[in-house]
Structure 1
């Protein structure tokens, strides 16, 4: 196999998460904490996680350039919700253990 073929395989398997956060709002600690949660949960699935400084109150989570969470539309995310959004895109069959159970219990409480 040539080097170009290896690069192509690696790029096709790349799973990148980006957390863009507002530096003016001092949201770096929140972004770093969420990054730690995602890296711990998806250590085998993610090839890259980037923290991207921004302005204007931005707090956006992207997976492979797709927005999965935007604070302006959805408020600040709970880690469980972001983990599920990331999982659905990078590892759909992966169980999130207690995170999945907590959401399932919430849905059962709402159901008639």
Structure 2
């Protein structure tokens, strides 16, 4: 028998640079993920980070790093990566097309 405490949490953390004024971008991405994965994600957190950082983490896996990718993420691939990891049967509507 399993219960919520024994299951892995599904936590997204969006790390952003406050000095670069990326809070609004992080908040928008958080809102998109919360709407898309309502009832599926346990938590979406927004955390200030060091200079130049914009990263999206699912648990301990970095899904997007602005420095490595050379830019900010589009919502479609981020949603697809999260869906594939936590809810593979979930239809993302237009994000799947």
Answer yes or no: same fold by TM over 0.5. yes
Distance 2:5 2:36 in 1: 21
More helix by share: 1
Q: Map of 1:56-75 to 2, 5 A cutoff?
A: 56-74=51-69, 75=71
State the TM-score, normalized to the length of structure 1: 0.79
Q: Once superposed, what is the RMSD of the aligned Cα atoms? A: 1.6
1:23 aligns with 2:18: yes
Q: Map of 1:1-112 to 2, 5 A cutoff?
A: 6=3, 9-74=4-69, 75-101=71-97
Bigger Cα Rg: 1
Q: 1:14-52: per-residue Cα shift (whole Å, max 9, x none)?
A: 210000000110100000000000000001110111101
Alignment gaps of 5+ in structure 1 = 102-112
Number of aligned residues: 96
Alignment gaps of 5+ in structure 2 = none
Note the C-alpha offset of 1:95: 1.1
Q: Find runs of 4+ consecutive structure 1 residues off by over 2 angstroms.
A: none
State the SS of the aligned residue for 2:92: coil
